[in-house]
Chain A
């Protein structure tokens, strides 16, 4: 589904990612763990074409997408919950969701999808005409996920969706991610919460200082010394 091959990026003189390679199979939940500043968000941004790789290539469903613009990349079937959620603050919940189906704009399909999202997140139906910035953190997180799903993505990229949420909401968000995956969407989850993430993911990668330092199934990663010491405090 998604293949990142030997990608390196830099911001000016500073090297952010070094020779990063990851592979995501169809229907999987893969995760990316790593401390702050490891380059997790940079990797997401590189996949999306917001940051350009210096070397390496990125393939989505067998076709190269590095070099395309962000809007072209997401139209191929990638949904994003960006870092910090980045909902459209001055627009209503419904408008935010509608923008998620931007590629299908003007088609009658949008109304149906909207109803499906409202069924999945009844809270958003209640808030449909509320300005997004005035919604609670949990509602905003649901809105960001709902917006990403409106485009019916084959691949969903989530950059720390649980950030700043209460434990109860984090639990809900993880359950939703699992439900979304069971309906056939491939998920790439970037998280700090290693324990919960590993419980959910099929396999994962460990990123440190811009390099992949560990890879394997969720169980293998959970057993590895780096993860145990750095994240699980075991």
Chain B
């Protein structure tokens, strides 16, 4: 148990150092430490095995430790509102990633319009609060629902196509959304919607800097904690779904639709279910983004972001709940860290995906095998262990 916490603490120190290191010596030390760690993981299967077993046996302790460290992060980043903001974005992408993973990873329904569904959530909040004077919390609750309902309408044409054609339909939807937002009068056109009111919780506005344990944190810490709660909730829901009968049923759509039908699965109903749940999560993240930034405009939700969302899921591992978390926490902060490379950062995405396909085709943290407790039909918690050795897992 102590070992698990020590490993987590070590990783945490490394993450904070990687984010904040500015002086050449500090940067050098951090890079060296990460390099040694990766090398050790790669060359010493015993070390790796020990860590994996420790985390599996002390799952609760590991989760508690991770929660404490996640709660503590803003205190270490308090000198830099910018990195607090980036950490919050990573959590927003965890939420989005879980949504897309339900669609693409679990049910095999490709969605290349993630940004548009996030935009639907965000724009709904903007329009309802600024144009119609809705209470922020109410608008925030309606945003994800709008994303889900529009997704269900789009589902009618989606049902007739699959595979590459499905990808094209969703791409088209993403562009239609963007063009509409750019050209419609009431959405503010290219100007977008400004001055979206912020949320208040027990009288505390999210824009005022919070003071916790006598330490004043940047105002972005409010959103960090809210995003942490949102990402944790969505991840927990996704985990429950994955380990339920529904998750297994959605897997059959991904694997073989005809066989699924022959087992009595209603393909239409379950695809719609997966698509709606996914869009609900993505719309939630979009609504959150809108109240955090206080401003939405078409470029915030263009096709490029759909690809980033897709990359999060693929990098982490399709159908892998922890993989999505890892993918978002790597893919969002890293390009910010490499901001000095300017537009070349986009190459990083491409390179990361190609390297992934070459070396870890099932993702950085591949999906595990569900465990079924004897006598519990719905399956129990805890999908530990990797799937059968040698199925494209390259170690």
Is B377 within 8 A of A88, CB to CB? no
Is B369 within 8 A of A129, CB to CB? yes
Is A90 within 8 A of B263, CB to CB? no
Is B263 within 8 A of A131, CB to CB? no
Is A102 within 8 A of B259, CB to CB? no
Q: How far is the CA of A178 from the CA of B307 in the complex (A)?
A: 54
A200 at the interface (CB under 8 A from B): no
Chain B interface secondary structure, helix, strand, loop or mixed? loop
Is B254 within 8 A of A90, CB to CB? yes
A106 at the interface (CB under 8 A from B): yes
Residue of A50, A100, A105 with most partner-chain B CB within 10 A: A105
| Residues in B neighbouring A111, C-beta threshold 8 A | 374-377
A133 at the interface (CB under 8 A from B): yes
Is A147 within 8 A of B263, CB to CB? yes
**Nearest-CB residue, chain B, relative to A92:** B369
- A88-B252, A90-B254, A111-B375 known; A102 and B388 CB under 8 Å? no
A19 at the interface (CB under 8 A from B): no
A36 at the interface (CB under 8 A from B): no
A103 at the interface (CB under 8 A from B): yes
Q: How far is the CA of A210 from the CA of B249 in the complex (A)?
A: 35
Q: How far is the CA of A75 from the CA of B264 in the complex (A)?
A: 6
Q: How far is the CA of A195 from the CA of B249 in the complex (A)?
A: 39
| Residues in A neighbouring B266, C-beta threshold 8 A | 69, 71
Q: How far is the CA of A102 from the CA of B377 in the complex (A)?
A: 11
B262 at the interface (CB under 8 A from A): yes
Chain A: interface residue total (CB-CB under 8 A): 37
Is B259 within 8 A of A87, CB to CB? yes
**Nearest-CB residue, chain B, relative to A87:** B259
| Residues in A neighbouring B267, C-beta threshold 8 A | 71
**Nearest-CB residue, chain A, relative to B267:** A71
Q: How far is the CA of A48 from the CA of B265 in the complex (A)?
A: 13
Is A90 within 8 A of B255, CB to CB? yes
CB distance from B256 to the nearest CB of A (A): 5
Is A86 within 8 A of B388, CB to CB? no
Q: How far is the CA of A75 from the CA of B226 in the complex (A)?
A: 45
Residues B319-359 near A (CB distance < 8 A): none
B370 at the interface (CB under 8 A from A): yes
Is B377 within 8 A of A131, CB to CB? no
| Residues in B neighbouring A131, C-beta threshold 8 A | 387-388, 391
| Residues in B neighbouring A31, C-beta threshold 8 A | none
- A94-B372, A106-B245 known; A82 and B263 CB under 8 Å? no
Q: How far is the CA of A39 from the CA of B384 in the complex (A)?
A: 46
- A91-B251, A129-B369 known; A70 and B377 CB under 8 Å? no
| Residues in A neighbouring B375, C-beta threshold 8 A | 108, 111
B378 at the interface (CB under 8 A from A): yes
Q: How far is the CA of A82 from the CA of B261 in the complex (A)?
A: 11
CB distance from B259 to the nearest CB of A (A): 4
B258 at the interface (CB under 8 A from A): yes
| Residues in B neighbouring A98, C-beta threshold 8 A | 248, 372
**Nearest-CB residue, chain A, relative to B379:** A98
Is A74 within 8 A of B264, CB to CB? yes
Is A88 within 8 A of B391, CB to CB? no
B214 at the interface (CB under 8 A from A): no
- A91-B251, A91-B255, A95-B370 known; A108 and B388 CB under 8 Å? no
Is A88 within 8 A of B259, CB to CB? yes
A80 at the interface (CB under 8 A from B): yes
Residue of A74, A102, A133, A134 with most partner-chain B CB within 10 A: A102
Is A99 within 8 A of B261, CB to CB? no
CB distance from B42 to the nearest CB of A (A): 25
Residues B279-321 near A (CB distance < 8 A): none
Q: How far is the CA of A108 from the CA of B261 in the complex (A)?
A: 23
Known: A74-B263, A107-B377. 13 other contacts (CB 8 A): A71-B265, A71-B266, A88-B251, A88-B259, A91-B252, A102-B249, A103-B264, A105-B249, A106-B245, A106-B378, A111-B374, A131-B388, A133-B391
18 residue pairs from A and B, CB less than 8 Å apart: A69-B266, A71-B261, A71-B264, A74-B263, A82-B258, A90-B251, A92-B369, A92-B388, A98-B248, A99-B265, A100-B263, A102-B264, A105-B249, A105-B377, A109-B377, A110-B377, A111-B375, A134-B390
